[in-house]
Amino acid sequence: MMKKKGEIDLGLGLPRASAVNRSTAWPSSRRPRHHPRRETTDGHDKVPFPKDRKIPYGEISQFSKRSKQMPREGSEKVVYMGKVGVKLAVGCAVAACVVASVMVGRRVRRKRAWRRVVRVLEEFEEGCATPVGRLRQVVDAMAVEMHAGLVSEGGSKLKMLLTFVHNLPSGSEKGTYYALDLGGTNFRILRVQLGGQRSAIIGHDVDRQPIPLHLMTGTSEELFDFIASSLKEFVEREESVSEHSKSERRELGFTFSFPVKQTSSSSGILIKWTKGFVIEDMVGRDVSECLQQAISRNGLDMQVNALINDTVGTLALGHYHDEDTVVAVIIGTGTNACYLERADAIIKCQGLLTTPGDMVVNMEWGNFWSSHLPRTSYDIDLDADSPNPNDQGFEKMISGMYLGDIVRRVILRMSEELGVFGPVSSKLHVPFILRTPLMAAMHEDDTPDLREVARILRDTLEFPDIPLNVRKLVVKVCDVVTRRAARLAAAGIIGILKKIGRDGSGGIARGKNEAASRSKMRRTVVAVEGGLYTNYTLFREYLNEAMSQILGEEIAPSVIIKVMEDGSGIGAALLAASHSTSSVDTIQIPYM
Ligand code: ADP
Ligand code: MG
């Protein structure tokens, strides 16, 4: 069944006994009756002899078989046999002593190694500890950093990017809209039909395609021509089976999940590429414009009227279904969050915005940092070895890209320094070889002998025969890593709720209105998307548990987490719809 902290009994015993060890530990009930053993004071077994018989030394080893035909005392044969026998017996005894001491030595060494490994695990667990008190400190730090990031550009590690999205879908959107979702190795094209009533998505079709590797490092024209021609094919295919009047304008929302400095809700400038893309001529250029030009070049009549990232899409879909949705979080390969903020709280652009009310802020929370985050030497090494050291510190503790690699690093240390895994496998040195879905499969292995753990250790890390105790150890390491990740994500979410006064504590200036705020705590929905959260049950459970612990019994029922499947794509289509009629804010960017 599910393994939670405390259910994994590692004990201090040895790894499962080898065949040699088992032979030394013969259970007393199965020993032959005619050789009853007694323990001597030095711990060795000894065979007792009948007190009433004199037996020549040479016969000792033969005693049990020959006891009925004892040779007469004094015969030559007996004397000769005696000498040979004594030598033989002494030889055997010495050999037995040597074997026994080697085995005892091995046992002792293994026991010591196992104790050391358990100590390393305990230290790791302590380093990753997230008691509720510490999580509350993370909550406070998140709220404070959010505030700092809203006060001035560069005021915090949280960029707190403006999105110029003031109006989230209300449910009244109607018609057919397209969306493009480019955020990693795949891109998706969607066509969404909206029925004009909340939650009335009549249908949506999706086409998913991998981005050819050479296009990730080519020119912007090549990349966008590929996307636009795929879009054109998709539109033609869709419209060949459904009606489309020539007078109907085609509108598109573009989810582009890379750091962008938005200039309006439909335009923005690429700050830098991430996730393996390196297309230098794009940096500093308007992303929508690049796409719009490629669409025209490919002879497609379509208007790009929303440029968003995946968190904003998820928030849009959440809000479309439930208007109490004010926060969205992505927990997949990477992690990020956005939320609905009062425009007057965005101090860094006061006076520049032309539309009052609320605005969605893209936090880029993967880069959050606080001294309250529980950081271990493994995290420090992972960061130092990464292509972006000192960047995305929160993401490196939470997201699917990294969790498996933290586990690999702990196993590597245990294997190299403590030897419990047997000879060190060279595979363990390969960064990111233990991907997070594999780690999750080991963590959630519910077979009594942890067969799946053994299989993954064998197939992925090339450890051929790992004893059960060591498999349990691996499960425990996965548990520690995932529990910390999920609990920190929960603290991050509640930090946002605190910033907007929806955690029941009275906001950042805690104390004065706490009681009043508890009594009028509003229902709040947090939309979540991402493979780590949706596919990893234990991660989800740990996150939900921590939310309840931090918020407390009274407030927790008011905060609801809702999974938004395909939020990043469908949300873009919804925003294309809601922006097709609304006016659009713009701002001049001083620095580019
Ligand atoms: P992306 O974040 O790239 O848009 P997804 O939201 O689908 O894509 O998330 C994919 C990530 O989710 C993977 O990189 C992996 O880290 C994590 N993931 C996917 N499946 C599982 C799983 N079964 N268990 C744990 N993590 C998973
Ligand atoms: Mg995604």
DSSP strand pairing (358-362 vs 161-162): antiparallel
Mutate to test the pocket of ligand 1, among 182, 333, 407, 534 (most ligand atoms within 8 A of CB): 333
Q: How many angstroms separate the CA atoms of 223 and 1, rounded?
A: 47
Asked if 505 and 466 count as a contact pair (C-beta separation under 8 A), the reply is: no
Is residue 426 predicted with pLDDT exceeding 70?
A: yes
Beta strands 174-182; 251-256: pairing state? parallel
Residues 494-538: pLDDT tens digits?
999 999 999 988 665 555 555 555 556 899 999 999 999 999 999
- pLDDT higher than threshold 80 for residue 73: no
Range with the poorest average pLDDT among 238-247, 382-391, 480-489: 238-247
Q: Is-catalytic flag, 310?
A: yes
| Nearest CA-CA partner of 376 in 483, 481, 476 | 481
Task: Give the pLDDT score at 99.
Answer: 66
Segment 83-99 shows an average pLDDT of 70
Using CA atoms, how far apart are residues 292 and 566, in angstroms rounded to an integer? 24
Query: Which of 84-88, 101-105, 113-117 has the highest average model confidence (pLDDT)?
Result: 113-117
Ligand 1 geometric centre to CA of 439 (Å): 12
Q: What are phi and psi of 325, to 5 degrees?
A: -80, 115
pLDDT in the model for residue 375: 97
Confidence at residue 55, expressed as pLDDT on a 0 to 100 scale: 32
Q: Between residues 172 and 354, which one has the greater pLDDT?
A: 172
Q: Is 275 one of the catalytic residues?
A: yes
Ligand minimally distant from the alpha carbon of residue 399: 1
Pairing between β-strand 325-331 and β-strand 524-529 as defined by DSSP bridges: parallel
What local confidence, expressed as pLDDT, does residue 518 receive?
55
How far is it, in rounded angstroms, from Cα 363 to Cα 36?
75
- Could you read off the pLDDT of 543-566 as tens digits, one per residue? 999 999 999 999 999 999 999 998
| Closest ligand 1 atom to Cα of 399 | 16
Q: Which pLDDT score, from 0 to 100, does residue 380 have? A: 98
Q: Using the predicted structure, report yes or no on whether residue 450 has a pLDDT greater than 80.
A: yes
Q: How far is CA 551 from CA 384, 497, 546, 554, in A?
A: 35, 10, 8, 8
Distance spanning both ends of the chain, measured CA to CA: 56
Distances in Å between the Cα of 17 and the Cα atoms of 14, 176, 248 are 7, 66, 75
User: Are 415 and 441 in contact, with CB atoms under 8 Å apart?
Assistant: no
List CB-based neighbours of ion ligand 2 within 5 Å. Answer: 183, 332
The pLDDT tens digits for 104-126 are 666 777 788 889 999 999 999 99
Closest by CA to 589, choosing from 360, 271, 273, 262, is: 262
